[in-house]
Chain A
Amino acid sequence: MTEKRYKKLKCAEDLTRLVERHYAKARYFRFGQPLAWVTSGAPVELLRAMDVFPVYPENYGALCGARGEAVALCQAAEAQGYSGDLCSYARSSLGMMSQGKKAPLGGLPRPNLLVCCNNICGTVLKWYEAASRFYDTPLFVLDTPFIHDQLTEYSIQYVAAQLQELVRFVQKHTGRRLNQNKLKEIISYSNQATALWQEIRELCRARPSPLNAPDLFVNMAPIVVLRSTKEAVGFYRQLHAEVQERVQRGIGAIPQERYRLVWDNIAIWYRLYRFYSYFVDRGACFVADTYTGGWAMQLQAGEPFECLARTYTSVFLNQSLEYRGQLLLDLIQHFSADGFVMHSNRSCKPYSLGQYDVMRQVSQRCRVPGVIIEADMCDSRVYSEEQVKTRIQAFMETLDAAG
């Protein structure tokens, strides 16, 4: 049933192969290349330019969530004493550590380094400290000051200085040196991939939209785990061509687009297709979202350390609620949306806290209705199907009445 509501992209298999190859390489084909666990907002360009192979425990959590295997990992972490209120990505990875190779997908390979950046949340600090103790592995913490209003020059200098320190840290523990030419090349790949990803998202301004939320969520994997690689650029070129073809031929992501919606927060991974099918049945397509756009930021030209500092400090989760409200409002207007749906994600406090304020701010300024759905990105135990369905139905009726 759900397959019919979801129009599969031709490059779906290429995506699977790409991600599988990434994990296989991480485990078996690094040939001595050091491996770092990194947070989703870490400046990986520097690491790649120093020949360090990055893997993302957050992506591992999302994969386990989508495969319905995250709850067992969360329970394993809870059995060790971690609170059920802790982020389910953190619990998934802490649970995986204790299970070794028996964990889903064989677990993540043991890290040689840990690089943690607090631009996405504060949980990562204690999570990576726990990993550092567990594997007895050196940890680097990159501190990006929160942007309450404007990004200040001294914040940029503060972060840039830490990036210099990161280089020394990696050199000390791996013996690898920073290759400036390679850094330039890698930044260029990053920019090509993010530009393509941004263009793909832009194509969803078309009516009907060529992509729906599940497409955006599934296809964001390379922009996170393989950003700054040639492979990511190649994949997004292919995806761009396919999405453009959909637009040219007037093919929509869903059978009949009556409403255009914007999504806020991380996906509900274990219900990715079924959840959105409730909207598809009522002719609603998610044409944009606040999450997958987080990785569409270009690295500006100039001194590389300052550019990296500027870009990675400015990620949307490191900015004020006013900024986040404006971001949502801009998406609604830019993509001509009729409404928005916010996932109050029990796991992700920095993303979910303040959603009621953002919602009020947006509804007052553009008179577009929104609804908040309570769930969790990976822990399906807090997902209540009947309550979710009632909220979706009531929201869609509100849209019907407004239209």
Chain B
Amino acid sequence: MYFLGVDIGSLTVKVVLLGGDGKILASGVNRAGYRGQEAAGALVSTILADQGIPSTEIAYTVATGYGRVTFVGTGGTCAPLTPVMASEEISEISCQARGVYHLFPGARTIIDIGGQDSKAIRLAASGRVVDFAMNDKCAAGTGRFLEVMAQALEVDIQDLGDLSLRGTNKVNISSTCTVFAESETISHLARGADRADIAAGLHEAIASRVLGMASRVGLEPQVVLTGGVAMNRGVAKALEAKCGQAIVIPPHPQITGALGAALLARERWERSSSGHWPGD
């Protein structure tokens, strides 16, 4: 018996497969493209095929992320698999909280920066969500912001963080709007500013925007940074420098939401078969 967590975000889809004992058997990340649900279905199929697990062995699936509502794993091109339906959809707040708390029981604050949204979650010692805040009507300070800036600086997105760490004379980026920040970047470049210095300025701009939101829920230690942007060392460093606290990053920061979804899938299944919550 197995459990699936499927996180369909704006830029990427993430899948985590748990065994009956709750151990992570496999996980995967793929581009969402314009059909996130199909990309997720294909990723599920690949993972199940790799593991040699028929989809009928999946006891419970939880979908999360912006594409959660309509997720019906189609099995993609792997025809032998029957469709994997989401048994339930749960918000990414609850899933992130569950996934991070599983990895770091000492976590009290989660900062999650994804492709188009960022959020801050405060946890109680029990792992329960006490409060959360999400970015407003704007995607500045998210993964998409970094992608646009990497393009403007003609740097590979993977190298942007390292580039920023080489900056010695940070350039001030004042605009909080992605499009205007790009124009600002271009005019700095035209004036001959160093790319590394601009990159450092951009990372600081992200850090101050994200911290502005995170301080609404408070920044109680331990602070854990997740989401695709957590793989960028420059953002974590800029956040640490700005808030004066150590920030912990999970080994695979992109999949914590899917992990939480898979863990919740297992709990939901146990509850439905035994009539009570595990740990009640």
Contact = CB atoms under 8 A, between A and B. Distances in A.
Interface string B109-137: 00000000100000000001111111011
Contact of A398 (B92, B129, B216): B129
Contacts of B66: 386, 390
Contacts of A374: 136-137
A372 B91 CA distance: 16
A394 B94 contact: yes
Please classify how large the interface on chain B is, using the bins under 10, 10 to 19, 20 to 34, 35 or more.
10 to 19
B153 interface: no
B137 to A, nearest CB: 6
A134 interface: no
Interface in B221-261: none
Interface in A367-401: 369, 371-372, 374, 382, 384, 386-387, 390-391, 393-394, 397-398, 401
A402 interface: yes
B93 A397 contact: yes
B90 interface: yes
Contacts of B130: 369, 398
User: Which of the listed residues A356, A382, A394, A397 has the most CB atoms from chain B within 10 Å of its own CB?
Assistant: A394
Interface in B136-163: 136-137
A397 B90 contact: yes
A398 B130 CA distance: 7
A363 interface: yes
Nearest to A381: B137
Contacts of A397: 90-91, 93-94, 129
B134 A356 contact: no
A371 B137 CA distance: 16
Contacts of A387: 117, 134, 137
Contacts of A382: 137
Interface in A67-109: none
B131 to A, nearest CB: 7
A372 B133 CA distance: 8
Contacts, number: 43
B119 to A, nearest CB: 9
Contact of B129 (A356, A390, A394): A394
A394 B132 contact: yes
Contact of B134 (A369, A391, A401): A391
Contact of A394 (B91, B136, B137, B216): B91
Most buried by A among B91, B129, B132: B91
A387 B216 CA distance: 18
A229 to B, nearest CB: 41
Q: Which of A356, A363, A390 has its CB near the most chain B CB atoms (within 10 A)?
A: A390
Contacts of B133: 372
A394 B132 CA distance: 9
A138 to B, nearest CB: 40
B68 to A, nearest CB: 9
B236 to A, nearest CB: 25
Nearest to B69: A389
A393 B94 CA distance: 9
Interface string B77-108: 00000000000001111100000000000000
Interface string B175-199: 0000000000000000000000000
B209 to A, nearest CB: 16
Contacts of A372: 133
A401 B91 contact: no
A371 B66 CA distance: 19
Interface in B8-51: none
A401 B129 contact: yes
A374 B135 CA distance: 10
B132 to A, nearest CB: 6
A119 to B, nearest CB: 29
B96 to A, nearest CB: 10
Given A374-B137, A384-B137, A390 B128 contact: no
In the A-B complex, the 5 residue pairs with the closest CB atoms: A394-B93, A394-B91, A393-B91, A397-B94, A398-B129
Given A390-B92, A390-B93, 11 more contacts: A363-B131, A374-B136, A374-B137, A387-B117, A387-B134, A387-B137, A393-B90, A393-B91, A398-B128, A398-B132, A401-B128
